[in-house]
A and B are shown apart, each in its own frame.
Chain A
Amino acid sequence: MPQKLVIEAINDALREEMRRDETVFCIGQDIGAGGGVFLVTQGLQNEFGPDRVIDSPLAESAIIGVSIGAAANGMRPVAEMQFFDYILPAMEQIANEAAKMRWRSFNTWGVPMVMRAPTGGGVTGGIYHSQSLEAMFTNIPGLKVVLPATPYDAKGLLKAAIRDPDPVLYLEHKKTYRSIRGEVPDGDYVVPIGKAEVKRTGNNLTIVTWGLMVHYALDAAAQLEQEGISIEVVDLRTLLPVDNETILESVKKTGKALVVYEANRTGGFGGEIASTIAEFAFEHLDGPVTRLASPDIPAMPWNHPQEAFFMLSPEKIAAAARKLAAY
């Protein structure tokens, strides 16, 4: 099976969906001839032309607003936010219009729109290019939020998102773009939205996480295996609707849960996971449900040692897991 980078898997998914369905189009800043700031859409305008790969003005509310209108009228827009940090000017369109359209119209109108946004830090991106804002969107029912960690999931989930009848926020961890390579089968397949995956099985402790942290958790689990600690890693893949069944099944087996997320600790989506575990797996718990997250500091520092302090790492995850396993 061919090995691909995450960024190649996303590009393949866009290309294949645009070939399959001519209502699919892309819109975003510099995504045409420029191929986007990360080159995710490289080559698409050559194949599909400027009417289907549209360079937009520097106005996120317009990008999303246009996409909502198009989607409501039968198109399948894929809107690119240059960085997840920049999505905030479009918040009103997303939260008040896109997410509520189906409900408000008594199931008459839908918004089959995908919003792609590069999330996360660890690339010395500093304040404006590093945030993990997923919890702001998981609190908006009507949206779907996915965050693949591997090339396989990236391609399959993007296809599922494009074919979904409702708005999907598709988050891409920018550090995985060119650092994570994996097997991706040729041809068409989808990864269903709403299904987590156990990326590693173990017995002593469950790590629940998503995005880049899946890879850090797998690294930590490999370290801890040398010490005789057996870790199960659950990759959520979809945050909204979250797959509680898989989480609870794992935690009931291991009795211990470490929830790892790159966002700031307070109010992060991991708090929701921890709360669900405490409520529904209570009688199976053999230790405190523990969160490991970035500190509540306003922004990711650009200064490299400070960024290392801020960001989670396989070593920090291993230390937290070691401590919980010993409880």
Chain B
Amino acid sequence: MPYSFILPPLAETTAEGTVGRWQKQPGDRVKRYEPLVDIMTDKVNVEMTSPVTGVISEINAPEGVVVPVGGVLATIIEDDEGSTPPAHGAPAPQAAAPDVEATHASPLHPSATIAPARSEGRQRMTPVVARLALEHGVDVSQIGGSGIEGRVTKQDILDFVESRAARPAAVAVTAPVAAPLAAPGSRAQPSITPGADEEALPLSPVRRAIAEHMSNSKATIPHAWTMVEVDVSLLVRLRERLKEDFRKREGVDLTYLPFVMKVLAETLKEFPLLNSSWGGDKIILKKRINLGIAVNRGEDLIVPVIKDADRLSVAGLAHGIADLVARARANTLSPADISGGTFTMNNTGALGVTLSYPIVYPGQAAILTSEAIIKRAVVVDDAIAIRSIMNMCLSFDHRILDGGISGGFMRAMKARVEKLGPDTAIY
């Protein structure tokens, strides 16, 4: 039977996707869960697997084409085992058994009917499937079910997780389709063979995506960089005073990051051009302030997004950060969690460094770091004093921003952070 392989909604705000590389061609056999095509949306790159087993009869959306959600990507002639006629003389196994429904055909046996897997658009799943989906960060609607009424079974989800592990990154952070992304491999270096005293480390899909999009950013965005020193002595005192109570009451740690992000959201309102992106022949201002936070995961890094950060208090931001960091490390972020960022914050101070030169997240205008807080001897009112100093660094897209506005933004950030002190409210 011909099966239409359509583009599903990949994130809540996704309306369309750009077709990337097809891994199969018409006439190729494809197995269920086998990777088939890469789809790029504004913030997420999804490797889509085949929902069915069969032969590809047609690729309806070739590489580079933009397809709306629901649009047909390919047509697959599905294997239909049920249509295989049984061997002559061999009775179908079910026919030999008496119909147990005979004893069940009474209202005393409600289990005789099984609810459909989908009713009114809501997907039902068994408890074990729900648990495994959560544990492995799987969107069950992306899996074709082999159970009754298309229900996704425990085995279906285990198979899916196994196939994903064999070729991971169903979802990886990637760049938006800024510049022509039609040929993602075009900047790829030729493969280099390691020498006798060298060792080749295979690339994880997330590592490959980071490489692709950092190269893309540096190749297309003319970066400029600036830095301010911020005296956070009062903020240190404020946090020292609050942190024990906060942890007891809220259950999460109160770090410096939510304070800086609170100030960042306020300052972005004052300097809206910092919250924008390059639109080729225009600059696109973003009305929402959605702050990406770089989360180090040891082997790689992912940038989940706190939506509408300007509406949150310091305490609210602390909770939002704690939640995203926990889920980033547990690998349970959804595509929606890592999409929609308008500005990125990188708390490099957590790594103990005091000066960084970050790369602008593609599709944004600038990226800010908060560096490690160090006690230093500084001059205050013509006297030498010991103060807690934190550097903040800004990389920005020089097509959008110049030093004047960036400097103004950094001075405003510095002034606001230095105003944080023992009297600042965090709720």
Specify whether A and B are partners: yes
A284:B151 contact, CB within 8 angstroms: no
Taking CB atoms, residues of chain B closer than 8 Å to A189 are: none
Contacting pair A327 B108 (CB below 8 A): no
CB contacts (< 8 Å) of A316 on chain B: these are 98, 100, 103
Shortest beta-carbon distance, A41 to chain B, in Å?
37
Report the nearest B residue to A284, measured CB to CB. B128
Say yes or no: A284-B147 contact (C-beta < 8 A), given A315-B97, A316-B100, A319-B97.
no
Q: Could you say which interface size class chain B belongs to? A: 20 to 34
Residue among A283, A296, A318 making CB contact with B97, cutoff 8 Å = A318
B99 at the interface (CB under 8 A from A): yes
B contact residues around A309 at 8 Å (CB): 102-103
- The complex places the Cα of A226 from the Cα of B97 at a distance, in Å, of 14
Whether the Cβ atoms of B98 and A286 lie closer than 8 Å is no
A283 with B131, Cβ < 8 A, contacts A290-B111, A309-B103, A327-B114 known = yes
- Decide: A326 and B148 in contact? CB cutoff 8 A: yes
Q: Is the CB of A327 within 8 A of B147?
A: yes
Is there an interface contact between A282 and B127, defined as CB atoms closer than 8 Å?
yes
CB closest residue in chain A, given B104: A320
Chain B residues near A290: list those with CB within 8 A. Answer: 111
Give the contacting residue for A286; candidates B106, B108, B111, B129; CB below 8 A.
Answer: B129
The answer to whether the Cβ of A322 comes within 8 Å of any Cβ in the partner chain is yes
* B93 is an interface residue with CB less than 8 A from chain A: yes
| Also in contact, A286 and B126, with CB within 8 A (given A255-B154, A316-B98, A322-B94) | yes
Chain A nearest Cβ from B228, distance in angstroms: 51
Contact B111 A288 (CB under 8 A): yes
- Let me know if A165 is at the binding interface, CB within 8 A: no
Partner of B153, one of A226, A286, A323: A286
Residues on A with beta carbons closer than 8 Å to the beta carbon of B103 = 295, 309, 316
A318 to B99, CA, bound (A): 10
Closest B residue to A318 by CB, please name it: B97
* A67 CB, nearest partner CB in chain B, Å: 38
Which residues of chain A in 208-241 are interfacial with respect to chain B, using CB atoms and an 8 Å cutoff? 226-227
In the bound complex, how far is the Cα of B111 from the Cα of A290, in angstroms?
A: 7
Q: At the interface, yes or no: A287 with Cβ under 8 Å from chain B?
A: yes
**Once bound together, how far apart are the Cα atoms of A266 and B109, in whole Å?**
10
Q: Which residues of the other chain, B, contact A52 by a CB distance below 8 angstroms?
A: none
In whole angstroms, how far apart are the Cα atoms of A59 and B114 in the complex? 49
* Interchain Cβ contacts within 8 Å, total number: 61
Interface residues of B in 90-141 (CB under 8 A from A): 93-94, 97-100, 102-103, 106, 108-109, 111, 114, 126-131
- Residue on A nearest B93 in the bound complex, by CB: A227
In the bound complex, residues from chain B placing their C-beta under 8 Å from that of A288 are 111, 114
CA distance A148 to B108 in the complex (A): 30
Once the chains bind, are B147 and A285 in contact (CB under 8 Å)? Answer: no
CB distance B128 to A283 under 8 Å? yes
CA distance A327 to B127 in the complex (A): 13
Distance from A287 Cβ to chain B, minimum over Cβ atoms (Å): 6
* CB of A181 closer than 8 Å to a CB of B: no
| Given A265-B108, A295-B108, A326-B147, A286:B100 Cβ within 8 A | no
From B98, B111, B114, A315 is in contact (CB under 8 Å) with: B98
Verify A327–B153 contact, CB threshold 8 A: yes
Bound state CA distance, A313 and B96, in angstroms? 14
A144 to B408, CA, bound (A): 83
B199 shortest CB reach to chain A, Å:
40
Q: In the complex, are the beta carbons of B111 and A285 less than 8 A apart?
A: no
Q: Find the A residue at minimum CB distance from B130.
A: A283
Residue of B nearest to A282 (CB): B127
Q: Would you call A285 and B128 a contact (CB within 8 A)?
A: yes
Residues of B with C-beta under 8 A to A327: 114, 126, 147-148, 151, 153
**Once the chains are docked, how many angstroms separate the CA of A177 from the CA of B100?**
27
From A265, A309, A319, name the one whose CB has the most chain B CB atoms within 10 angstroms: A319
Q: Nearest Cβ in chain B — how far from A282, in angstroms?
A: 5
Distance in Å from the Cβ of B292 to the closest Cβ of chain A? 33
Q: Mark A250-273, 1 if CB is under 8 A from B, else 0.
A: 000001000000000110000000
In the bound complex, CA of A296 to CA of B106 (Å): 11
A-B contact pairs, 18 of them (CB 8 A): A226-B93, A227-B93, A255-B128, A266-B108, A283-B127, A283-B130, A283-B131, A284-B128, A285-B127, A286-B127, A296-B108, A316-B103, A319-B100, A322-B94, A326-B148, A327-B114, A327-B147, A327-B153
9 A-B pairs closest in CB distance: A319-B100, A286-B154, A283-B131, A255-B154, A286-B128, A286-B126, A315-B97, A285-B127, A316-B100
